[in-house]
Chains A and B, each alone.
Chain A
């Protein structure tokens, strides 16, 4: 299991699955102030939502690198023969993907927040929200990647599948960032994220098995 997670991390770092979302996130954070203009209070009011949207879209970028290469190369078949359940493989992929996606995104959120004039309290709320929300995003990515593995032009389909399911993360994440925790947004964000992390390995495992037929 540890070997599987380390392998996922290594592949993510070498194959671009780690760098792509990060660069995209920073790019959006740079572009947004150009589009809105240098009005500090306006940026601070809208920037949090833009960053959460950027995080969501960033999660979409590496989806075709998460499961499909392993399916096509027969790695998933060999793991099955080694006695690894498909759910275990999916869980290892989830953890490996989150490690290469969540912490770097949280680091990138610091300069991104500075560009959006988010300071002090707001930056902490962004970081806390991302810490709780990114495992859910990583779980969604793995689930959708397993569902679309082996399909042609899976990228567009992955977007259509992933983004609607990520809406609750966006609502509670951006809501917590903007208004604080007065309506329990943080707990709801945690609940959604937990549900996704708990469910994704089973959905992805079933998808991998079904994909062999």
Chain B
């Protein structure tokens, strides 16, 4: 059973061909690391996989997915717990995994850059979707945050989930397929 299958996918943005003929399959426990310079189409690839962008060619099949990108998508006025609770039934495991449980009652607008990133990741962890789509998940995270992220990713894969991550930072994903965009 495959959680993500891209076959011959091409992506066209603003009349420019970012990549073509991309094949990628992720099964349970699988992971892929998308790398490449700025503007190579890493984020676009994730958005194609998420179904937010239409692929110019090829087919995309995926299981239910959670996405963490540069947009937080949490209501700024609400406390972190309530804002997360709009998206997931029980935000507590995600907040614990990302070490933001002590911020549960803090309004989202008061969070720092790194805390916001942790909150976005906490939603993905708590949502429990089998496929994680992570766009620059390590951006803005300190050493503790990075360690928690890597632990959460390892636990997710051990539980039969799959991860597609785009990053230009070193990220520990043991045995991950490498997808290099140019």
Q: How far is the CB of A201 from chain B (nearest CB, A)?
A: 19
Q: How far is the CB of A199 from chain B (nearest CB, A)?
A: 23
Whether A80 sits at the interface, judged by CB under 8 Å, is yes
Whether B66 sits at the interface, judged by CB under 8 Å, is yes
Which residues of B from 53 to 71 have beta carbons under 8 Å from A?
53-54, 64-67, 69-71
User: Which among B32-40, B72-80, B142-150 touches the partner chain?
Assistant: B72-80
Q: CA–CA, A83 to B65, complex, Å?
A: 10
Quick check: A73 and B52 within 8 Å, CB to CB?
no
Question: CB-CB < 8 A to B73: which residues of A?
Answer: 73-75, 77-78
Quick check: B52 and A80 within 8 Å, CB to CB?
yes
Partner of A77, one of B52, B74, B75, B129: B52
Quick check: B86 and A77 within 8 Å, CB to CB?
no
Q: How many residues of B contact A (CB 8 A)?
A: 21
Partner of B69, one of A3, A7, A74, A83: A74
Whether B51 sits at the interface, judged by CB under 8 Å, is yes
Question: CB-CB < 8 A to B47: which residues of A?
Answer: 212
Counting residue pairs across A and B whose Cβ atoms lie within 8 Å, the total is 42
Residue of A nearest to B12 (CB): A213
Residue of A nearest to B131 (CB): A81
Question: CB-CB < 8 A to B52: which residues of A?
Answer: 77, 80-81, 212
Contact A73/B51 with A14-B77, A81-B67 known, Cβ cut-off 8 Å:
no
Residue of B nearest to A70 (CB): B73
Whether B50 sits at the interface, judged by CB under 8 Å, is yes
Partner of B72, one of A3, A74, A83, A213: A74
Q: CA–CA, A77 to B66, complex, Å?
A: 11
Q: CA–CA, A31 to B158, complex, Å?
A: 68
Quick check: B72 and A82 within 8 Å, CB to CB?
no
Question: CB-CB < 8 A to A212: which residues of B?
Answer: 47, 52-53
Which residues of A from 56 to 83 have beta carbons under 8 Å from B?
72-75, 77-78, 80-83
Whether A11 sits at the interface, judged by CB under 8 Å, is yes
Which residues of A from 106 to 126 have beta carbons under 8 Å from B?
none
The SS class assigned to the A binding surface is helix
Question: CB-CB < 8 A to A213: which residues of B?
Answer: 53-54
Q: How far is the CB of B94 from chain A (nearest CB, A)?
A: 14
Q: CA–CA, A77 to B67, complex, Å?
A: 9
Residue of B nearest to A7 (CB): B86
Q: CA–CA, A81 to B77, complex, Å?
A: 23
Q: CA–CA, A80 to B50, complex, Å?
A: 9
Question: CB-CB < 8 A to A78: which residues of B?
Answer: 67, 73, 87
Q: How far is the CB of B115 from chain A (nearest CB, A)?
A: 16
Q: How far is the CB of A170 from chain B (nearest CB, A)?
A: 35
Question: CB-CB < 8 A to B51: which residues of A?
Answer: 80-81
B79-116: CB near A (< 8 Å → 1, else 0) gives 00000001100000000000000000000000000000
Question: CB-CB < 8 A to B70: which residues of A?
Answer: 74
Q: How far is the CB of B125 from chain A (nearest CB, A)?
A: 15
Quick check: B71 and A77 within 8 Å, CB to CB?
yes
Quick check: B72 and A77 within 8 Å, CB to CB?
no
Q: CA–CA, A75 to B75, complex, Å?
A: 9
Question: CB-CB < 8 A to A81: which residues of B?
Answer: 50-52, 65-67, 129
Which residues of A from 4 to 33 have beta carbons under 8 Å from B?
7, 11, 14
Q: Which residues of A are interface residues toward B (Cβ below 8 A)?
A: 3, 7, 11, 14, 72-75, 77-78, 80-83, 212-213
Could you list 18 A-B pairs, sorted by A, with CB under 8 Å?
A3-B86, A7-B86, A14-B77, A72-B71, A73-B72, A73-B73, A74-B72, A74-B73, A77-B50, A77-B69, A78-B67, A78-B73, A80-B50, A80-B51, A81-B51, A81-B52, A81-B66, A212-B47
Closest 6 CB pairs of A and B: A74-B71, A74-B73, A78-B73, A75-B73, A73-B73, A81-B67
